[in-house]
Chain A
């Protein structure tokens, strides 16, 4: 099993001098191919910052982030962007769909970004993904015409469209109903099981975390090493217990 992303001794500070505030401290972990990893932590614990570092949107103040074997800090911004394009599919809490593009076009956006048109293969794949995510009837709709669940499923379809090996998901169910959230989580799980992708999920929700193979806890910018939970078959109660133990 190969490593999708590896984080070694990462620190991240905001501000400078006396106003320097640590956001992340001594973070080290890795995500294997096909593994579903969940990161939990209270608000302000640095979860989103961690995702920014993993995707190469931001650079660590110290330490390394290796994405598909490439140290992101050593790459130019353009190379980092291209690495992200090839290796990372992003799912946002607030969906971040292009408001002017239809569902179909939003799903196909990675192809356009990669400079590929909607050739037959692309169109077939969009249709397949739409069917898989229950969006087949909504392909021509614009984002504001969708429900929250539909928007997030579109966002996931977009992330899957690029066939990148790593999916980064920033609280993807945070704005969804319980039912819609469960649907999304099942889809993400199937990405690991059926497609062999790695998923790194950031969430507050123990129910979502129960879908993961492994749960990491981030407290005040540090990973609570001894609290890590490993699956499969993690239960919501187990996760609640762990959170309680960490006073989260």
Chain B
């Protein structure tokens, strides 16, 4: 091992360039993928709050009228771990009430009573125990108390406390649009003694109330509230194997529900697609990193064949020599993976500090945690694949001819063996690595047929390129050599030497070309996809925003008067009320029905106005309809302010009404404003903001004049046109995809490293030849020209291949996204990015050649001609 250690270490330290760039190759690949995963992890944790703070389950469901138990929910796909639940106040006492003076306040504290089925409570993950155990499931009177209660009564496990519901004061409820004072049960409540079996940890349930909380079994809670109406709810968790849209679609037509933000953050179809895309970019980087190291290790063996021959001639066994290369691979892979992990963590932190997340840009995430359980396996995969990459050098040593090596001949393996190794590499990169990757980093959401199709398509494209360059490298090298011919006319020496070098090293050329092609294809495909997304926004905007102007910052304004005033002006078609919405669980806004008559679906079908106004009709936006699978005629149960369920019917699916830039929500429903008043006591008579629909081509100045005329001056009133809204949406897309640009830049660096490593090793391998050329009077310009010409050719071929591939991939990517997200995406194409991608590819290749040029010029002609 000492020999291996010495030679491996010297081998690495004496070639700092090769060592540095090989390590960087692995490090960049690992860093990208680790960065992506850490970034995604922190995005979800940071935007939804850590799991430790979660005090509600994924879903809270209200049973429909007439349904008293949750039996039917068992058939709903996507819902799991259902537990009945309610919460209310409870009086907590450390000793029983005296029958003579039942209401002595000194011995009593108010706490929040959580009644939750003991059987499922622990698995819902909404509380954690500081000490003690969970509630028994046999109905025993046991209680878990919050820290506040425990401290107040100096409770410890096994102590008893007495719980009772409070005397209930009268309260106001919304009934038919009026707040009504309701009398409630006023009898002296019954008290029950409970044994403290656990004390809740500070986090989760009870955190907000300072630990003043008691948690009992649902039936025990009902006992405490015997004789009082309690609205039963169901707490449930989401089945992680079912996507949120399918879950919501399954429950939306039967139940009023609230899905916790934490449970669905990053789980919407577009968010899933984005996150999966980011993960795929990480995989691409990892593959490229491994691609670089495979060939570095292989080429490194070729370059050092003479050393290998000498060692063998001196009595070193092939096993010992193999250990040298294996140890080098271990050191490179270990250092690369270590650096990659650190770099990835730094990358994630840097991106988060810039507001770049896996759910778009401009989001503030204050936490930073490292999911080691994912990071370490990823680093391990990087090391493992890099080590598997050293199989080629190790096996090649077996077939190496020592006599030829002593003469300084090139390593020549039998053709069949070479193809075998390349097939092995292709399998490792295109199959084993993606498979291991998806085991370590599961896909986001449900593995649907569409997603599988998309992933297979992406991995297939990767495979195509990898296999092309590994299995038929001569094809790419042949193309490159042919392209060199015209350059030979211009630069005879450089041209000929370049053609010869490329002809003799097809694997090196193949790898460089395909790495560049992959990144270029990725860039072109990505830009084609974002162009389609922008096209989709354009389509949406043409219906939802383009002919509208949003007026905000008005003093409280009587809507009816304001609308009447604006209708006096030419070109004003209708007004939509702003700020009149409730979340139940999606945004429901109130509209003045008559105002919709002049545009949108109500203009085409006036009967919709009556349905909307009198028959509890609802207009839903296209994205909401898609998200919750609403169709015309679908019943939508909405939970009223008093907890009752009110059913509306979908009468139109359209984006023509209801969009507001703040909040910028594309999933909403519209109901007549009088329903909003009746069921939610939400006053809609006065408004501070409106959207005004104008006829096409109307000068916005007229509207501004009309508004100022009504309000007697500009005051702080702001106007925002549809075009501005559209522009900000388009900018949002650009900002959201900044992360992809960063990842593509990293993969471009990797591809550049591939080119650089190949050329660097070629320069080292050919140092004698280059030295002799220098000795014979070849100028620095000619030598530089040789390296740069090769880079140019590789860049040109990689660029063309990448552009063609990216151009061909774009419709497939758009189609896949359409299937995954459900958006109606137009096929726009990458446009100018075809050229930019091509030029970028050539530039990366040329820049990558600068170091090899410098290294080539440093070759010492004296040394080259003096030594063998």
A105 at the interface (CB under 8 A from B): yes
Question: A55 at the A/B interface (Cβ < 8 Å)?
Answer: yes
Is B47 part of the binding interface, using a Cβ–Cβ cutoff of 8 Å? Answer: no
826-868 of chain B: CB within 8 A of chain A? 860, 863, 866-868
The smallest beta-carbon distance between B704 and chain A, in angstroms, is 78
When C-beta atoms are compared, the residue in chain B nearest to A90 turns out to be B313
**Is B307 among interface residues, defined by CB-CB distance under 8 A?**
yes
Smallest Cβ-Cβ distance to B402: which chain A residue: A57
Interface-centre pick from A143, A144, A148 (highest chain B CB count, 10 A): A144
Flag whether B13 is at the interface (Cβ < 8 A).
Answer: yes
The 8 Å CB contact of B6, one of A58, A101, A175, is A101
Within 8 A of B (CB), among A125-177: 143-144, 148, 151, 158, 162, 175
| Cβ < 8 Å to A, chain B residues 399-422 | 402-403, 406, 408
Q: Bound complex: CA of A105 vs CA of B318, how far in Å?
A: 20
Cα distance, A4 to B863, chains bound together (Å):
37
The range of chain B's interface size is: 20 to 34
* Residue B711 at the chain A interface, CB threshold 8 Å: no
When the two chains form the complex, which single residue of B3, B11, B14, B868 contacts A95, counting CB atoms closer than 8 Å?
Answer: B868
- Do A90 and B314 touch across chains, with their CB atoms under 8 A apart? yes
* B316 within 8 Å of A (CB atoms): yes
A93: which B residues are within 8 A, CB to CB? 868
B10: chain A residues within 8 A (beta carbon)? 98, 100-101, 105
Q: Mark B309-338, 1 if CB is under 8 A from A, else 0.
A: 111111111111000000000000000000
Instruction: Kindly state whether residue B7 has any CB partner on chain A within 8 Å.
Output: yes
- Please name all residues of chain B whose beta carbon is closer than 8 Å to the beta carbon of A94 when the two chains form the complex: 408, 867-868
Are B14 and A99 closer than 8 Å at their CB atoms? yes
A117 interface contact, C-beta 8 A: yes
B406 to nearest A CB, angstroms?
7
The distance from the CB of A179 to the nearest CB of chain B, in whole angstroms, is 17
Provided the pairs A94-B868, A100-B14 are in contact, do residues A78 and B403 lie with their beta carbons within 8 angstroms?
no
B6 engages A105 (CB within 8 Å): yes
- Most chain B Cβ neighbours within 10 Å, of A58, A88, A109: A109
Chain A positions within 8 Å of B310 at CB level: 92, 96-98
Asked if A58 and B403 sit within 8 Å, CB to CB, the answer is yes
Give Cα distance in the complex from A150 to B403, angstroms.
24
**B2 beta carbon closer than 8 Å to chain A:** yes
Hey, which chain A residues are within 8 Å of B868, CB to CB? Answer: 93-96, 175
Q: Which residue of B lies closest to A108 (CB)?
A: B6
Q: Does B577 contact A (CB under 8 A)?
A: no
Which of B3, B14, B309, B866 makes the CB contact (< 8 A) with A113? B3
A109–B860 CA distance with the chains assembled, in angstroms: 26
- The yes or no answer to A112 lying at the interface (CB within 8 A) is yes
Q: Determine the distance from Cα of A105 to Cα of B11 in the docked complex, in whole angstroms.
A: 13
CA of A81 to CA of B2 in the docked complex: distance in angstroms? 19
- B54 is an interface residue with CB less than 8 A from chain A: no
A111 vs chain B, min Cβ distance (A): 9
Within 8 A of A (CB), among B143-173: none
| Chain A: interface residue total (CB-CB under 8 A) | 39
Q: How far is the CA of A81 from the CA of B315 in the complex (A)?
A: 5
Please judge, given known A-B contacts A86-B315, A90-B313, A93-B868, whether A112 and B6 are in contact too, CB under 8 Å: yes
Known contacts A93-B868, A96-B406, A101-B10: A113-B313 contact under CB 8 Å: no
Interface members, chain B 342-382 (any A CB < 8 Å): none
In the docked arrangement, what's the CA distance between A78 and B306, Å? 19
Closest to B866 in A: A148
Q: A96-B310, A100-B14, A148-B866 are in contact. Are A110 and B2 (CB under 8 A)?
A: no
Question: In the assembled complex, which residues on chain A have CB atoms less than 8 Å from the CB atom of B311?
Answer: 98, 113
What residues of A have a CB within 8 angstroms of the CB of B320 in the complex? 113
Closest to A96 in B: B310
Are B14 and A110 in touch, CB under 8 angstroms? no
B868 to A: closest C-beta gap in Å: 3
* Chain B residues whose C-beta falls within 8 Å of the C-beta of A47 in the assembled complex: none
- Set of chain A residues within 8 Å of B866, measured between Cβ atoms: 148
- Cα–Cα, bound, A90→B315 (Å): 9
25 A-B residue pairs with Cβ-Cβ distance under 8 Å, sorted by A, are A52-B403, A58-B403, A81-B317, A82-B317, A84-B314, A84-B315, A90-B314, A96-B309, A96-B310, A96-B313, A96-B868, A98-B7, A98-B10, A99-B14, A100-B7, A100-B13, A101-B6, A105-B10, A110-B314, A112-B3, A113-B3, A113-B314, A114-B315, A144-B863, A144-B867
Residues of A within 8 A of B (CB): 48, 52, 55, 57-58, 77-78, 81-82, 84-86, 88, 90, 92-101, 105, 109-110, 112-115, 117, 143-144, 148, 151, 158, 162, 175
List 9 tightest A-B contacts by C-beta distance, closest first: A85-B315, A94-B868, A100-B10, A100-B14, A96-B310, A112-B3, A84-B315, A113-B316, A81-B317
Known: A84-B314, A101-B7, A162-B315. 4 other contacts (CB 8 A): A84-B313, A98-B310, A99-B14, A113-B315
